[in-house]
Amino acid sequence: MNYGPLVFLAAFFALAGSWFGLVLTPQVQVGRLQQTNSVPGGATYPVARPGLAREGLDVYRANGCAYCHSQQVGQTGTVCDVVLNEIGTNPPALFAALGKLKGMSEPQARQLVSGLPKTILAGKAKEEADAATKALNAAGAKAQVWIVAVGPDISRPGWGVRRSVAEDFLFDYPVMLGSQRIGPDLANVGVRLPDPNWHLLHLYAPQAMIKGSIMAPYPYLFEKRKIERFPSPDALVLPPQMAAEPGFEVIPTPQAKALAAYLVSLRADIPLFSAPVTVASASAPASTNAPAGATNAPPTNAPAK
Amino acid sequence: MTKAAAPAVPDEISASCRVPLLVLFTSAALWLVIGSAFGLIASIKFHAPAFLAACPWLTYGRVHPAWLSSVLYGFCVQAGLGVTLWLFARLGRAPLAQSWLVILGAVTWNLGVTLGVLGILGGDSTGFETLEMPAYGALLVFIGYLLVGISATLTLHQRRERPLYVSQWYLLAALFWFPWIYSTADLLLLKFPVRGVAQAVIAWWFADNFLTVWLALVGLAAAFYFVPKLVQRELHNYYLALFTFWSLILFASWAGIPSTAPVPAWMPTVSTIATALTLLPILAVALNFHHTLENTYSKLASGQTLPFVAFGVCGFLVAGVMRIFGAFFDFHQQLHFSWFEPARQFLNFYGFFVMVMFGAIYYILPQLVGFNLPSPKLARLHFWLAGSGVLLLVLPLAVGGVFQATQLENPAIPVTDIAHLTLSFLRVSTLGDVLVLAGHLILLGNLIALTVRFYRSQAVTAYSEATADLFKTSEVKP
The ipTM of this complex is 0.92
Q: pLDDT means per 10 residues in chain A (305 residues)?
A: 78 94 94 89 90 96 96 92 88 88 85 84 90 90 91 92 93 93 95 95 92 93 90 87 85 96 94 87 43 42 42
Among residues 57-116 of chain B, which lie with CB inside 8 Å of chain A?
A: 59-62, 64-65
Q: Do A15 and B193 lie within an 8 Å CB cutoff?
A: no
Distance CA B269, CA B327 (A): 11
Q: Which residue from B50, B60, B202 is facing A64, i.e. has the nearest CB? A: B60
- Chain A CB within 8 Å of residue B201 CB: yes
Q: Do A26 and B202 lie within an 8 Å CB cutoff?
A: yes
Q: Which residue from B193, B336, B420 is facing A173, i.e. has the nearest CB? A: B193
Chain B closest CA to A184's CA: distance in Å? 6
Residue whose C-alpha is closest to residue B203's, from A59, A175, A31: A175
Q: Cβ of B91: how many Cβ atoms within 10 Å?
A: 21
To test the contact with chain B by mutation, choose from A7, A20, A34, A59 the residue with the greatest count of B C-beta atoms within 10 A, namely A7
The domain segmentation of chain B, as residue ranges, is 9-163
Residue whose C-alpha is closest to residue B90's, from B11, B177, B6: B11
Q: Do A174 and B342 lie within an 8 Å CB cutoff?
A: no
- Chain A CB within 8 Å of residue B162 CB: yes
Contacts of B93 (CB under 8 A, 6+ apart): B7, B8, B13, B159, B160, B161
To test the contact with chain A by mutation, choose from B201, B210, B213, B246 the residue with the greatest count of A C-beta atoms within 10 A, namely B201
Whether the CB-CB separation of B7 and B93 falls below 8 Å is answered with yes
Chain B closest CA to A120's CA: distance in Å? 24
Contacts of B390 (CB under 8 A, 6+ apart): B311, B315, B346, B347, B350, B351, B355, B432, B436
B207 CB neighbours in chain A (<8 A) are none
Contacts of A169 (CB under 8 A, 6+ apart): A175, A177, B196, B197, B200, B262
B420 CB neighbours in chain A (<8 A) are 212, 214
Q: Cβ of A116: how many Cβ atoms within 10 Å?
A: 15
- Cα angle A290, A292, A293 (rounded to 5 degrees) comes to 115
Residue of B nearest to A156 (CA): B411
Distance CA A293, CA A288 (A): 12
CATH class of B9-163: mainly alpha
pTM above 0.90, yes or no: yes
Whether the CB-CB separation of B226 and B299 falls below 8 Å is answered with no
| Sequential pLDDT tens for chain B (478 residues) | 444 568 888 888 988 999 999 999 999 999 999 999 999 999 999 999 889 989 999 999 999 999 999 999 999 999 999 999 999 999 999 999 999 999 999 999 999 999 999 999 999 999 999 999 999 999 999 999 999 999 999 999 999 988 889 999 999 999 999 999 999 999 999 999 999 999 999 999 999 999 999 999 999 999 999 999 999 999 999 999 999 999 999 999 999 899 889 999 999 999 999 999 999 999 999 999 999 998 888 888 888 899 999 999 999 999 999 999 888 876 678 899 999 999 999 999 999 999 999 999 999 999 998 888 877 888 899 999 999 999 999 999 999 999 999 999 999 999 999 999 999 999 999 999 999 999 999 999 999 998 898 899 889 988 888 887 776 655 555 4
Single-letter amino acid, residue A202: H
Distance CA B246, CA B106 (A): 30
Residue of B nearest to A70 (CA): B337
Q: What is the CA radius of gyration of chain B?
A: 23
Q: How far apart are the first and last CA of chain B?
A: 57
Q: Which residue from B129, B409, B419 is facing A179, i.e. has the nearest CB? A: B129
Q: Do B59 and A61 lie within an 8 Å CB cutoff?
A: no
Whether the CB-CB separation of B204 and B258 falls below 8 Å is answered with yes
Whether the CB-CB separation of B211 and B278 falls below 8 Å is answered with no
Alpha helix segments (H runs only) across A75-217: 91-102, 106-112, 126-138, 152-155, 189-192, 196-204, 206-209
A9 CB neighbours in chain B (<8 A) are none
Q: What are phi and psi of A224, to 5 degrees?
A: -95, 125
Residue whose C-alpha is closest to residue B416's, from A202, A218, A194: A202
Q: Do B416 and A177 lie within an 8 Å CB cutoff?
A: no
Q: Do A11 and B176 lie within an 8 Å CB cutoff?
A: yes
Distance CA B5, CA A183 (A): 63
Q: Domains, chain A, ranges and CATH?
A: 36-73+162-264 (1.10.760.10), 77-150 (3.30.1390.10)
- Chain A CB within 8 Å of residue B403 CB: no
From residue B270, alpha-carbon distances to A21, B252, B256, B264, B323 in Å are 9, 11, 9, 11, 15
Q: What are phi and psi of B445, to 5 degrees?
A: -60, -45
